[in-house]
């Protein structure tokens, strides 16, 4: 499998798009392409580069819909050559390749509204493709990141011409991605939207709407994937900003999807992020596995658009990389690809309970009263070090970069006397309290190496007032100093905590600039008037209020 397309997508994601310029159909700025325009239902015309194979058509078609400019950013000299090379890969395989500027981007007309029009525009674009003389009426859609989001939108639109999709690193819900646990992502969401030319007033209005409402669910996969009727191949990364989207969309469509979707899904999860990983870990076994895997994307489309008997549907639906000790230059042989019939694989939930001495124990606590208290000052947030980031350092970075501080709690197991292997969803059941109406709690799953390297595996937050959910009736302030359970969904992973390592859970109340810093006032962002305050937060670990890290343990035969 090759990820040149993904690499290009990620690189272009950081480029600021130019304003739209309407034009007549004709030669494209990219070699080998013809620029054509498709009219949407409201009359807006969207520009596309169309690359055709040699010979006589019509042919099956593969399309990507991009906000990152079909002709490439003007300041990237090699973009046209890269895009032409990408297109040649499809045309050499016997497909027309279409790459279209989304509404308001590049040479397309209209206003850019960050994925708000892509269900309708996706449908209308497929209607246009199906009517072209070079199209045989069978279409596949492909793309990563923002292009994966537009691919999901087109799949939900359920045009009959769309026969299959290949989606790389895309979310299930933009609302959940932009504010996991009700905590807005600061640098990646607000920063990315600004790079795309979205006005600050629009960004602030979005930040003010963290609750669950129709605004967020209009393009939500979890709300509308029931309309998808096609086979989809999802690709995700364990350190990617959208990792839950790949596994979550696969699992739902594979097991509960409509006719055409159910039972026809595949997912591949690898040890990569939304760009190059930072830190001292590397996974050469994954790169080697890709070299020997062949081009899964073209095999996928050959099967579903051409009826090629290539055996791809005889292979396991789930392929995932089991991470293990992976210091650069000394990776463990326990890093390897694994397969399963479904996601998550069959597993047993095991709890590691927080203890008063900063330990993690499989034994439930017995103390009548036990808690750890710290002061969270929003003026002095904990700095982000790695994790699933987009626009800055990402991946399994060493959390020792965060110094010892009273508001950063490190709980860990004794040194492991045998391997512990997990694959599936991870969560934290945290009994906690604050002295005000609202605050945040952050959790990190960490693999501690024998030399002390603290490799972050997963991290996620919860905003206390959203502890029961984001529907209007669920949102409620905390009762000061009264402990309540707050569940932190860390999403999923697959990792072997090897003998000699420790498993750690880090708890704090800030992670900046990854997440917005809570002012601890309980006010909604819009119209906030109170000054930020220092919160006194407590994590409980007694018999009546146990806190635990919940891990999905599997038992591979080897």
Same domain, 383 and 530: yes
Last residue of one domain, picked from the residues 228, 250, 278:
278
| Cα gap 140→155, rounded to integer Å | 10
CATH number of the domain enclosing 38: 3.40.50.1820
| Cα gap 500→456, rounded to integer Å | 17
Same domain, 352 and 486: yes
Torsion sign, CA atoms 403, 404, 407, 408: positive
Same domain, 406 and 535: yes
Report the DSSP beta bridge partners of residue 22: none
Closest to 267 in 3D by CA, of 297, 233, 312, 293: 233
* Least trusted range by pLDDT, from 114-123, 209-218, 532-541: 209-218
Same domain, 535 and 397: yes
| Cα gap 171→273, rounded to integer Å | 13
- Residues near 429 by beta carbon (within 8 Å), at least 6 away in sequence: 351, 485, 487, 546, 547, 548, 550
Same domain, 13 and 131: yes
177 lies in some domain = yes
Same domain, 259 and 352: no
Same domain, 210 and 352: no
pLDDT at residue 293, rounded to an integer: 66
Average pLDDT, the chain: 91
Cα Dmax for the chain = 80
Q: Inform me whether the pLDDT recorded for 7 exceeds 80.
A: no
57 lies in some domain = yes
Same domain, 146 and 247: yes
Contact 394, 477 (CB under 8 A): no
| Cα gap 550→427, rounded to integer Å | 5
297 lies in some domain = no
Q: What is the pLDDT of residues 314-371, one digit of tens each?
A: 999 999 999 999 999 999 999 999 999 999 999 999 999 999 999 999 999 999 999 9
318 lies in some domain = no
| Cα gap 270→494, rounded to integer Å | 9
pLDDT at residue 14, rounded to an integer: 30
Torsion sign, CA atoms 50, 51, 57, 60: negative
Mean pLDDT: which of 3-12, 164-173, 207-216, 422-431 is highest? 422-431
Last residue of one domain, picked from the residues 278, 310, 330:
278
| Cα gap 347→423, rounded to integer Å | 8
Residues 41-70 have a mean pLDDT of 96
Pairing label, strands 420-434, 336-340: unpaired
Helix axis angle for 118-130 and 146-157, nearest 10°, is 70
Token digits of residue 361: 């124990």
254 lies in some domain = yes
Provide Rg for the chain, Cα atoms. 24
Contact 269, 238 (CB under 8 A): yes
| Cα gap 102→111, rounded to integer Å | 10
Domain total in the chain: 2
295 lies in some domain = no
Q: What is the pLDDT of residues 442-489, one digit of tens each?
A: 999 999 999 999 999 999 999 999 999 988 899 999 999 999 999 999
**Which residue is it, tokens 């990152």?**
68
286 lies in some domain = no
Same domain, 188 and 58: yes
pLDDT category, 525, cuts 50, 70, 90? low
Same domain, 425 and 523: yes
Determine the structural domain holding residue 403 and report its residue range.
348-553
Closest to 178 in 3D by CA, of 149, 144, 141: 149
Same domain, 517 and 389: yes
Same domain, 514 and 401: yes
Query: Which DSSP state fits 473?
Result: G
φ, ψ dihedrals at 68, nearest 5°: -100, 20
pLDDT at residue 24, rounded to an integer: 54
Residues 422-435 have a mean pLDDT of 98
484 lies in some domain = yes
pLDDT category, 262, cuts 50, 70, 90? very high
| Cα gap 311→154, rounded to integer Å | 27
CATH number of the domain enclosing 390: 2.60.120.260
Last residue of one domain, picked from the residues 249, 278, 307:
278
pLDDT category, 190, cuts 50, 70, 90? confident
Helix axis angle for 79-92 and 4-12, nearest 10°, is 150
pLDDT category, 16, cuts 50, 70, 90? very low
Q: Inform me whether the pLDDT recorded for 177 exceeds 90.
A: no
DSSP calls for 401-415: GS---TT-EEEEPPP
């Amino acid at each position: 499998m090759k990820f040149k397309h993904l690499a290009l997508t990620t690189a272009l994601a950081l480029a600021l798009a130019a304003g739209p310029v309407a034009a007549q159909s004709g030669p494209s700025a990219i070699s080998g392409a013809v620029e054509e325009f498709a009219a949407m239902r409201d009359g807006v015309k969207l520009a596309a580069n169309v690359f055709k194979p040699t010979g006589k058509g019509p042919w099956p078609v593969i399309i990507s819909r991009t906000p990152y400019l079909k002709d490439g950013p003007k300041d990237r000299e090699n973009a046209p050559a890269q895009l032409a090379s990408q297109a040649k890969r499809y045309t050499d395989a016997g497909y027309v390749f279409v790459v279209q500027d989304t509404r308001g981007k590049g040479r397309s007309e209209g206003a850019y509204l960050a994925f708000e029009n892509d269900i309708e525009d996706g449908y209308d674009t497929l209607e246009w493709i199906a009517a072209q003389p070079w199209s045989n009426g069978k279409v596949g859609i492909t793309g990563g990141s923002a292009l994966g989001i537009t691919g999901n939108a087109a799949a939900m639109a359920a045009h009959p011409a769309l026969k299959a999709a290949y989606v790389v690193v895309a979310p299930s819900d933009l609302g959940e991605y932009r504010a996991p646990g009700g905590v807005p992502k600061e640098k990646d969401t607000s920063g990315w939207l600004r790079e795309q030319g979205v006005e600050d007033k629009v960004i602030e209005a979005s930040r003010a709407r963290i609750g669950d409402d129709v605004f967020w669910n209009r393009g939500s996969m979890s709300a509308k994937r029931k309309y998808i009727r096609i086979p989809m191949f999802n690709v995700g990364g364990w350190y990617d900003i959208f990792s839950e989207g790949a596994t979550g969309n696969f699992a739902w469509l594979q097991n509960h999807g409509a006719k055409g979707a159910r039972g026809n899904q595949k997912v591949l999860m690898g040890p990569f992020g939304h760009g190059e990983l930072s830190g001292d870990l590397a996974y050469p076994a994954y790169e080697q596995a890709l070299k020997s895997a062949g081009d899964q994307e073209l095999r996928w489309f050959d099967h579903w658009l051409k009826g090629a008997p290539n055996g791809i549907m005889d292979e396991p639906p789930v392929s995932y990389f089991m991470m293990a000790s992976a210091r650069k230059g000394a990776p463990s042989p326990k890093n390897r690809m694994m397969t399963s019939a479904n996601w998550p694989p069959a597993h047993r939930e095991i709890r590691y309970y927080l203890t008063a001495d900063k330990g993690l124990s499989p034994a439930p606590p017995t103390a009548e009263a036990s808690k750890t208290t710290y002061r969270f000052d929003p003026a002095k947030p904990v700095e982000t070090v790695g994790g699933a980031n987009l626009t800055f350092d990402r991946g399994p970075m060493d959390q020792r970069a965060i110094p010892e501080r009273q508001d950063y709690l490190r709980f860990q197991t004794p040194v492991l006397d045998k391997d512990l292997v997990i694959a599936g969803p991870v969560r934290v059941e945290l009994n906690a309290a604050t002295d005000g109406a609202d605050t945040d709690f952050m959790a990190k799953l960490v693999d501690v190496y024998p030399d002390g390297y603290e490799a972050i595996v997963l991290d996620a937050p919860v905003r206390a007032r959203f502890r029961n959910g984001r529907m209007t009736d669920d949102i409620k302030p905390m009762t000061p100093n009264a402990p309540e359970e707050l569940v932190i969904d860390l999403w999923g992973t697959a990792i072997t905590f090897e003998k000699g390592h420790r498993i750690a859970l880090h708890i704090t109340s800030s992670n900046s600039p990854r997440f917005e810093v809570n002012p601890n006032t309980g006010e909604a962002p819009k119209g906030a008037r109170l000054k930020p305050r220092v919160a006194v937060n407590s994590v409980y670990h007694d018999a009546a209020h146990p806190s635990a890290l919940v891990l999905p343990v599997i038992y591979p035969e080897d």
